[in-house]
């Protein structure tokens, strides 16, 4: 998947989604002064997609508390009881340009029998490492069992 800047990824966390109606416009007719302020993305911080790709993915598993998760409070450092799932393979964007989630490979042994599944945006949080501004990890409320039982993601453009 080509790497591209990710606009307002933090603003999308957790669960909010941005979408725009598809409009056919001739780029030659655009004038930068005509862009309405309400169409501009919220002020950063912005995170590039390649900073998310290869990030470690953890499940909070049994520590999941729906009221805490829904509150949007920071998760803090990696906890000892979180399960290490793997790493982000790709950031998926729908045909409208909205981020829908990340993919991770689960199951299998030594690369055999693995499948790629989606962790939807509403089921994940992006957490910045306190000691490194450019390093992130992903925390999901989905259990390892839920991820292993999830359907393999298909119909991905550019998938090898």
pLDDT of residue 117: 95
Q: What is the predicted pLDDT for the residue at 64?
A: 81
pLDDT at 11: 41
What backbone phi and psi angles, to 5 degrees, belong to 104?
Answer: -145, 145
- Look at residue 131 in the predicted model and tell me its pLDDT: 74
pLDDT in tens, 22-53: 455 565 665 555 555 566 667 767 788 888 88
Please check whether residue 36 lies inside any domain of the structure: no
Answer yes or no: is 89 within a domain: yes
Is there a domain that residue 80 lies in?
Answer: yes
Please, what are the averages of pLDDT over each run of 10 residues along the chain (160 residues)?
42 42 57 58 75 88 81 75 89 91 87 88 86 81 92 80
Question: Which residues sit opposite 126 in a β-bridge?
Answer: 138
Buried b (16+ CB within 10 A) or exposed e, 44-77: eeebebebbbebbbbbbbeeeeeeebeeeeebee
The alpha-helical segments, DSSP class H, found in 3-140 are 9-12, 49-52, 66-71
- Per-residue pLDDT at 7: 40
Tokens of 147: 């991820």
Say if residues 136 and 51 touch (Cβ distance below 8 Å).
Answer: yes
Look at the chain and report how many structural domains it folds into: 1
Whether 12 maps to a domain, the answer reads no
pTM for the complete prediction? Answer: 0.68
From CA 61, how far away is CA 146, in angstroms rounded?
A: 10
Give pLDDT, residue 65.
82
Q: What is the DSSP letter of 120?
A: E
């Amino acid at each position: 998947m080509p790497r591209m800047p990710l606009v307002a990824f933090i603003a999308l966390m957790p669960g909010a989604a941005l979408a725009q109606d598809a409009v056919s416009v001739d780029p030659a007719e655009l004038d930068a002064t005509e862009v309405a302020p309400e169409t501009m993305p919220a002020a950063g911080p912005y995170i590039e997609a390649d900073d998310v790709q290869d990030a470690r993915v953890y499940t909070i598993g049994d520590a999941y508390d729906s009221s805490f998760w829904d509150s949007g409070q920071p998760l803090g450092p990696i906890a000892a009881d979180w399960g290490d799932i793997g790493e982000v393979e790709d950031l998926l964007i729908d045909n409208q340009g909205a981020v829908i989630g990340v993919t991770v490979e689960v199951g299998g042994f030594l690369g055999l029998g693995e499948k790629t599944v989606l962790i939807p945006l509403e089921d994940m949080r992006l957490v910045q490492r306190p000691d490194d501004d450019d390093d992130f990890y992903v925390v999901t409320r989905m259990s390892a069992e839920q991820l292993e039982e999830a359907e393999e993601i298909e119909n991905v453009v550019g998938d090898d």
